[in-house]
């Protein structure tokens, strides 16, 4: 990721952080005054969002540090840790919303529809602005994606609160409040699980989902004629954008210039698969590890 792109992503997160943190206070007050679970659920979500966005901003700052003798790959992976924590926090929010919704079904509470509506509309405007800012960032960056998912959850919460407020104002049906809160929780759950799953895959050093290693192996053998076989292939990423690879390349005879073979293999990896950091071991006939 370029320095300018990195700074742009960080600025977007900071803007969303300020907007979300400021309105969170307003929504907490509005939720308490109106007695609305939908508003309180969204306020609780925004509280976690504020922490999540702060964590995302810190992650961008920390990831700029250069590699050192302790962390030889640098600090890029901190962004993935932030995304993973954000996903887990969303799952906790879903659990809290569902718990409160069940309690509201058992013991319905009076909700002030008009107060709820005013706060929810204001929240929708703030969330649309925040989501637009984040959506314009790097869509493949899990840190940005995690922050955007949090704000998208808030946006859905605001829409649900508006719908609930309108129904309460015109019908007096209070149970719509927890019903729509559950609907939003289910939508948040789907996105949160996808974020946790993808960030965990990166943390476990899984290969990119789009990469077929067998096809890559065949492609390299075809493009570099001296290569007889390829094995011990490992592909992972510090982030989804910063891919790493190690492999053993077996040649049938002792090459005159093994560096040239390595250079051509690296060129194919870089140009065809976007793998910028690769370590290649050249072997003749037998694998050294055998």
Helix (H) or strand (E) run with residue 101 in it? helix 77-106
Task: Give yes or no for a contact between 245 and 262, defined as CB atoms under 8 angstroms apart.
Answer: no
Q: What is the DSSP string of 54-66?
A: HHHHHHHHHHTSP
> What's the whole-model pTM score?
0.72
Q: What is the pLDDT of residue 44?
A: 66
Per-residue pLDDT of the chain (290 residues; tens, 9 = 90+): 445 556 677 788 888 888 888 888 887 788 788 777 767 766 766 776 777 777 777 767 776 778 788 888 888 788 788 778 878 888 888 888 888 888 888 888 788 888 888 888 988 898 899 888 887 766 666 667 777 877 887 788 788 888 888 999 999 888 888 888 888 788 778 778 888 898 899 999 999 988 999 999 999 999 999 999 999 999 999 888 789 999 999 998 888 899 999 999 999 999 999 998 999 999 987 777 77
The contacts of residue 163 (CB under 8 Å, 6+ apart) are 176, 180
Q: What is the pLDDT of residue 1?
A: 46
What are 127's two structure tokens? 């969330």
d(CA 27, CA 16): 16
d(CA 26, CA 23): 5
What are 260's two structure tokens? 């040239």
The three-state secondary structure class of 247 is: strand
Task: Give yes or no for a contact between 64 and 138, defined as CB atoms under 8 angstroms apart.
Answer: no
| Domains within the chain, CATH numbers bracketed | 3-203 (1.20.1510.10), 213-284 (3.30.70.1350)
Cα diameter, the chain = 85
């Amino acid at each position: 990721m370029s320095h300018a792109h990195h700074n742009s992503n960080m600025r977007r997160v900071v803007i969303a952080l300020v907007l979300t943190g400021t309105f969170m206070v307003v929504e907490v007050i509005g939720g308490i005054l109106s007695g609305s679970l939908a508003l309180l659920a969204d306020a609780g979500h925004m509280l976690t969002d504020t922490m999540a966005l702060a964590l995302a901003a810190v992650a961008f700052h920390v990831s700029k540090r250069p590699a050192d003798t302790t962390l030889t790959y640098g600090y890029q992976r901190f962004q993935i840790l932030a995304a993973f924590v954000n996903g887990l926090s969303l799952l906790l929010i879903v659990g809290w919303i569902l718990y409160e919704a069940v309690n509201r079904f058992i013991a319905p509470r009076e909700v002030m529809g008009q107060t709820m509506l005013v706060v929810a509309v204001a929240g929708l405007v703030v969330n649309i602005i925040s989501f637009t800012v984040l959506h314009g960032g790097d869509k493949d960056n899990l840190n940005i994606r995690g922050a955007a998912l949090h704000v998208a959850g808030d946006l859905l919460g605001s829409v649900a609160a508006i719908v609930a407020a309108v129904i309460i104002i015109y019908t007096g049906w209070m149970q719509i409040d927890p019903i729509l809160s559950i609907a939003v929780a289910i939508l948040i759950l789907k996105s949160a699980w996808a974020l946790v799953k993808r960030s965990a895959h990166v943390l476990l050093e899984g290969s990119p989902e789009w990469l077929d290693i067998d096809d890559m192996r065949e492609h390299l053998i075809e493009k570099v004629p001296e290569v007889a076989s390829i094995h011990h292939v490992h592909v992972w990423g510090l982030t989804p954008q910063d891919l790493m690879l190690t492999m053993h390349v077996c040649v049938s005879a002792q090459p005159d210039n093994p560096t040239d073979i390595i250079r051509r293999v690296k060129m194919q990896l870089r140009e065809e698969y976007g793998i910028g950091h690769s370590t290649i071991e050249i072997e003749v006939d037998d694998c050294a590890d055998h």
